[in-house]
Amino acid sequence: MITQELKTLYQKMGISEEVLGYGEEILEGLKERYAQIDAVAEYNQAKVVHAMQECKVSEACLLGTTGYGYNDLGRDTLEEVYAHIFHTEDALVRPQITCGTHALALALMSNLRPGDELLSPVGKPYDTLEEVIGIRPSKGSLAEYGVTYAQVDLLADGGFDWEGIRKAINERTKLVTIQRSKGYQTRPTLSVSRIGELIAFIKNIKPDVICMVDNCYGEFVETIEPTDVGADMAVGSLIKNPGGGLAPIGGYIVGKKECVENAAYRLTSPGLGKEVGASLGVLSKFYQGLFLAPTVTAGALKGAIFAANLYERMGFAVVPNSTETRHDIIQAVTFGTPEGVIAFCQGIQAGAPVDSYVTPEPWDMPGYDAQVIMAAGAFVSGSSIELSADGPIKPPYAVYFQGGLTWQHAKFGILKTVQACIDAGIVDRNFKRVV
């Protein structure tokens, strides 16, 4: 129930009564789905608390170290907590891992050797990995070190090309990378169960192959993770789901002990590995962010479902659609024009708590092959668990929305995008797409 006071406040913040009413109409049909999301969040919250209790997290764990970081109780205990949550042999959770791309590059470069082949059975990886792999030539790429790359695209319906994957696996196939989320594509996100089916198929052909999952945007969306269904490694960023909006930097690699050790030696130095790496002053934020992550992720999921229902009814193609089961927090909306992508992102920026007064524009970001527009007025720069949206300015001109530290803020930001699309003439006053 929207009170008159809230209507008045929203009007002061640039949302018309008509847009607010449209949103409330959509929300009436989402109560059951939101209850299911809350149930998953409750399970994952219990899972996180149980891990922290089992690993004996103490106040001393929150303090951190400087210098070499030898015997860092908090750092080592946090890695035990991650291994407990993901049911793995080991974990590497460090502020020295700068972002998700760095975490993925670290996992790949530490577990592949010259002459090995990397296989992606789910199509093209996320744009920033193209230079890591060497699909687009770049200094220090895997290709420069003699690692070859093979790719099997998904079928038109989003299914796996089983026969193509079988043919692609050979004696040099050392590591298979599976991207859970869609990246800048309008393909379905992979559920944990589908990832499990793919891993089982691959392992049946070549049991010793390493299966790595890019888990970005997927953590705590379901009650199980890819490492519960056979993944040898799962990799992600702490300024996405598992950081809960509090982690100011960092990434994680969880999985088999050998795989994680290899990554640690690559991150620091041969002979040193996990023994060094001061945690400085970030551990309390890592712990508290992880504690909050299940409920923060739930709020972001509610926002994604809300956006899908709003924009699908207005006539736009959305992935996932308004009724599909969710496996990550990303919502894609295809506008078909640069103007639609830009208007959406400007609406998100206008709904931010930080830098709401600035206007995002497309620019030449490093690591991408086209101009990209990004909107995020975030407390942590670039944090995409916070309310944010971005997209490349190239066909099919789709925008990718994610995040929201609270459901209420996600709702507000999405309503701002609708208002921005109306004001830009992308959507008419009857909430229909303008062709």
Query: Is 53 domain-assigned?
Result: no
Q: Are residues 217 and 349 in the same domain?
A: no
Mean pLDDT of the 212-226 span: 98
Q: Are residues 130 and 78 in the same domain?
A: yes
Separation of alpha carbons 304 and 313, rounded Å: 14
**What confidence tens digit (pLDDT) does each residue in 48-57 have?**
999 999 999 9
Q: Are residues 151 and 261 in the same domain?
A: yes
**What confidence tens digit (pLDDT) does each residue in 140-166 have?**
999 999 999 999 999 999 999 999 999
Separation of alpha carbons 9 and 307, rounded Å: 21
Separation of alpha carbons 215 and 222, rounded Å: 12
Q: Are residues 104 and 222 in the same domain?
A: yes
Query: Is 364 domain-assigned?
Result: yes
Count the domains in the chain: 2
**What confidence tens digit (pLDDT) does each residue in 90-144 have?**
999 999 999 999 999 999 999 999 999 999 999 999 988 999 999 999 999 999 9
Q: Are residues 342 and 395 in the same domain?
A: yes
Work out the pLDDT band at 212, boundaries 50, 70, 90. Answer: very high
Mean pLDDT of the 253-272 span: 98
Q: What is the CATH number of the domain that holds 16?
A: 3.90.1150.60
> Is the pLDDT higher at 370 or at 162?
162
Q: Are residues 84 and 15 in the same domain?
A: no
Q: Are residues 206 and 178 in the same domain?
A: yes
Q: What is the pTM of this model?
A: 0.96
Centre a 10 Å sphere on the Cβ of residue 232 and count the other Cβ atoms it contains: 24
Q: Are residues 235 and 131 in the same domain?
A: yes
The pLDDT assigned to 2 comes to 87
Q: Give me the domain span that covers residue 20.
A: 4-43+291-423
The pLDDT assigned to 228 comes to 98
Query: Where in 152-269 does DSSP place strands (E)?
Result: 173-179, 210-214, 233-237, 251-255
Give residues with Cβ within 8 angstroms of 375, minimum separation 6: 345, 346, 348, 349, 352, 360, 388, 389, 390
Query: Is pLDDT above 80 for 85?
Result: yes
Describe the strand order of the beta sheet including 251-255 as a list of residue ranges: 90-94, 251-255, 233-237, 210-214, 173-179, 117-120, 148-151
Query: Is pLDDT above 90 for 368?
Result: no
Query: Is 76 domain-assigned?
Result: yes
Query: Is pLDDT above 80 for 1?
Result: no
